[in-house]
Structure 1
């Protein structure tokens, strides 16, 4: 099969032939129809993000495709089924503390690295081998819409945070990082889940206006000034009622003061979910006042990715019409132009924009 291979952090992807993946028990082979290119893929491939990758590797993070073959443990999958290839691979030998790797993308700890060495190659190829539970059926789709269904890859991340927060219909949510790629998707998902309104702080006035135009009065934009106390007060004032929940999706380059300003806008007895990257580049950590946390009974939870059932639940939101994939503008590239796709993704990231490789 043809694949795009990362051989070195100093060289572009090599488009070449490699052996087809071989199926084993507990595995599925998928013909890749569309694979998203994350906006920061160039930072992963050049080493700037310092992800744990053992080279050479076929990279990529998630895909839409059709089942080519499945193992004896698959009782529902059929050849030709459309599936989302979930990149979040979990070890099967410790239910309480499974090791995790993102297939074709990164790993965490020694256990995650062992997973990555086996479920190594990602979807920048004509075929990909995934664990059975990671080939999640999405129902029949128009093949021409496969690239747009890659929006699952973006929306599932904040959806995992909202599920962890137990967001309920009628609650008010604040999305820290609302003008970013994952943050804007979070706004869409929260509204689909029935949020009363979403407070959307950011510095990008154009992106804030776009959110307001897309979703109407249920989005309450707040232009950030950089003054932590003033920004916190403006976020609270923008909400029609106390803010029940805050989710942070800010990237590593964001200042920690922006995270804290948003977190401390939550009401007493409120919940905070941390999913961003602040501090990952060695900057200052998050400094929260102990008395505020304790006396206001604040719940703070970190969350990485999403539970396995999230794909099926989100597919239901899409099929019901509550979540509209047409919000996303998609630029597609053939596999032969994978390096061009990576450059395009870096230059054209942001809300509701996707770059997709179609092998």
Structure 2
């Protein structure tokens, strides 16, 4: 089969198109003929071995794929690795049937980014109706969905940040009430101003550095910031627990992998709701670009350079 393989860690240049033997499923695993593979920002971290889970070489990257099993089921699956290929092995426990009304792009957009937005709003910050929500990187995979879900679930005001006018216009089109440039010198003041002079209740943040620092300072009493990534590769300033009492602030961290340690099938609950919203036309996965398997390097380059919006996918057939 054709696949992308990494034999040394580094930037996009380490992604190499090659021929590999077809993978063999073991007990409790499914073999997928991959129709599309998802591309996530976490993949760029995995390629340089800076992700939360350490990687081992050689490696076929790609944590999500949609395709057909040998008995004809159409499923979307979380893999850990192996998605950037014509065939992939998936644990049966992390493969979910996809309704006919949900296309490949939407299925891939929901299994990581959609589920992340769902968990951030439902579990990490416990969004209440009427609260203000800041969504950083609002034109990205998680951000585009978080904007829509926050509005659908009764947020009083959704404030999007994005790095270009085109991206800010997209966030507004998806339902954000106002859009802000995160490069504003005084981002704290810009967020409060965007919330009509009031401190904000909720922030969803995955940038790091000063964006995290200033967002924390913009929180209202009992405000919550959920941190789920560090795209800038720059850590925020350390937070002293005693300082959180100044505004009764809560900081949450979220990594999707931990959903499988919760009692019950929370992932199934999330996907059922998300699939239903897409099927009903109330939630849209924004297409961010489809690349051939041979274009995986370019997909990573575009993602890291923030040239993309929405969901990126690879087509293994080309």
- State the TM-score, normalizing by the size of structure 2: 0.80
Q: State whether structure 2 residue 25 is matched by structure 1 residue 67.
A: no
Q: State whether structure 2 residue 170 is matched by structure 1 residue 210.
A: yes
Contact in 1 for aligned 2:212/2:236 (Cα 8 Å): no
User: Which structure: larger Rg?
Assistant: 1
**Paired position in structure 1 for 2:264:** none
Displaced runs of 4 or more, over 6 A = 48-51
**Structure 1 206/288 Cα, relative in aligned 2: closer, same or farther at 3 Å?**
farther
Q: State whether structure 2 residue 212 is matched by structure 1 residue 247.
A: no
Partner of residue 160 from structure 1, selected from 97, 119, 126 = 119
- Distance in 2, matches of 1:222 and 1:336, equals 36
Q: Secondary structure of 2:174's match?
A: helix
Partner of residue 85 from structure 1, selected from 73, 77, 94 = 77
**Paired position in structure 2 for 1:5:** 5
**Paired position in structure 2 for 1:221:** 179
- Distance in 2, matches of 1:30 and 1:222, equals 42
**Structure 1 296/341 Cα, relative in aligned 2: closer, same or farther at 3 Å?**
closer
Q: State whether structure 2 residue 59 is matched by structure 1 residue 57.
A: yes
Contact in 2 for aligned 1:172/1:239 (Cα 8 Å): yes
- Distance in 2, matches of 1:221 and 1:343, equals 26
Q: Secondary structure of 2:219's match?
A: coil
Q: Secondary structure of 1:177's match?
A: coil
Q: State whether structure 2 residue 85 is matched by structure 1 residue 125.
A: yes
- Distance in 1, matches of 2:210 and 2:113, equals 25
What are structure 2's unaligned runs of at least 5 residues?
260-266
Q: How far 1:248 moved relative to its partner?
A: 1.0
Partner of residue 171 from structure 1, selected from 131, 143, 149 = 131
Q: How far 1:275 moved relative to its partner?
A: 1.0
Q: How far 1:131 moved relative to its partner?
A: 2.0
Contact in 1 for aligned 2:213/2:237 (Cα 8 Å): no
What are structure 1's unaligned runs of at least 5 residues?
69-78, 88-102, 105-121
Q: Secondary structure of 1:330's match?
A: strand
- Distance in 2, matches of 1:131 and 1:149, equals 17
- Distance in 2, matches of 1:20 and 1:203, equals 40
- Distance in 2, matches of 1:323 and 1:273, equals 22
Q: State whether structure 2 residue 242 is matched by structure 1 residue 290.
A: yes
Contact in 2 for aligned 1:182/1:249 (Cα 8 Å): no
Contact in 1 for aligned 2:184/2:190 (Cα 8 Å): no
- Distance in 1, matches of 2:248 and 2:51, equals 35
- Distance in 1, matches of 2:220 and 2:301, equals 42
Q: How far 1:23 moved relative to its partner?
A: 2.9
- Distance in 1, matches of 2:214 and 2:297, equals 38
Q: Secondary structure of 2:200's match?
A: coil
Contact in 1 for aligned 2:160/2:168 (Cα 8 Å): yes
**Paired position in structure 1 for 2:29:** 27
- Distance in 1, matches of 2:136 and 2:95, equals 31
**Paired position in structure 2 for 1:264:** 217
Q: How far 1:35 moved relative to its partner?
A: 0.1
